[in-house]
Structure 1
Amino acid sequence: MTLYFSRLTLKRDPSTDALRQLIDPAERARATDAHHRLLWSVFSDDAGRKRDFLWRSEPRGRFYTLSERPPEPHGLFEPPEIKAFAPALSAGDRLAFLMRANAVTQKPKDPNDRAPNGELRRRKVDVAMHALRHLPGREHAARPGSAHEMSPRQAARFEIARTEAHKWLIAQGDANGFRLDPLPAGDEAAEPDAGFELEHYFTVALPGSRRGRRRGEPRFGVFEMKGRLTVTDPAAFLAKLATGFGRAKSYGCGLMLIRRA
């Protein structure tokens, strides 16, 4: 299967600028919904087609996509920059990665809730929301050392989110042909988990849901991660790159950007 990696950039002209607050708003929750609609319009040649692309937003109206078909020219974008995505990978190759992901895992619904075959019924949960569910405050954390210093509570929440993201990504690697680079032996100056860094964790209200800090408002969590990895099974790794990681892929999550380390 041929895949296409594309860069899309919003036009800088009066007609696009007049719509910018609608198609590329600064506020995160509104941007998630607006970008979701905008990218679907690029690939919506068939109203009944299922999503066959991943995407990621960047500042200044720029987007990256990985798709099974090249994006069509669109009136709001400059001509798309498109290239075939077919990296030649071998076991042992080292890559730097950047990813925005909604990480989920399966947990038992209830110790007494079993299927007819006796197995526990399970449900998918956001790994950070599940770990943070008993702590007060919102599920938001910024990277330590960012412009806004964190309170002790925020620091504790960030560390929990970081631990859960790291565990989730290790499990993703075990199942999909890669491993995170370990801490170099004897390198006391290196950061812990040198192959992984969590830059941010935040939650976004599902588009169409009620706005505001209301109990029970449907939300999904987003990890902003980067690091280094080693390919162990090139075929499995490439297959996962094509389908994406985690959930909320319609809303800009799941696309792993890679480059040679």
Structure 2
Amino acid sequence: MTKLKEQLQETTDFLRGKGLEQVDFGLILGSGLGELAEEIENPVAISFSEVPHFSLSKVVGHAGKLVYGTLAGKKVLAMQGRFHYYEGHSMQTVTYPVRMMAALGIHSIVVTNAAGGVNEAFEPGNLMLITDHINFTGDNPLIGENEDDMGPRFPDMSQAYTKNYQEAAKAAAAEQGIVLQEGVYMGFSGPTYETPAEIRMARTMGADAVGMSTVAEVIVAAHSGLKVLGISCITNLAAGMQSSLNHEEVVETTERVKEQFKQLVKTTLKNM
């Protein structure tokens, strides 16, 4: 057994010992969006610090907990927060929770994030359905020896974001009267916000939003054969489109739109 498989065995054994049974959906909740996990029924909450081989998230707006239970009639395991490449973690550490979810038998994940709007039609507070992504982090979590029984050496990314889940999200938005933008998410390494020149480049390359997460997680999800729904909260306009950028604005905007976000995810889960 490889080191990764041994670690995953220890992690999943620990979680099952905490009462985790069948899980359908994994939820990765980004900056300011973790409150959704508080609506999980019959919750089992576990701090990241307790979980074998998990790291810690030190970013404001990330609670650093796993929460298991029922949401919208589905068995879910939610991450309140995530690990970021810019914190000094390897891509393998960043994506370990996705490996863990696949090892638990989860078939689908919902990834969410706070993002900067690049599309000039977007406004702060918009929610964006992620239809595709551009990996501009300069790294890839699959570099190195491939675990063939976990996924193929060269995974296809043509449909990394599951089409019928996108349709479910659009139907949920229409049902709830929520304006749901659609677009391409471009992942940078961070921790600096992008320069105005980089945002002009991103727009030219076809990006609608930019951020510092999600891309690596979705690559590993595709490698693991998981279905994916991605939603960005557009918390601000990107560099050069407004006077300045700061993390406080990110948290403030997610606070303002959290009810819409929670309703969209819950209704979509119900429809999936």
Task: Using structure 1 for the length normalisation, give the TM-score.
Answer: 0.26
The structure where helix makes up a greater share of residues is 2
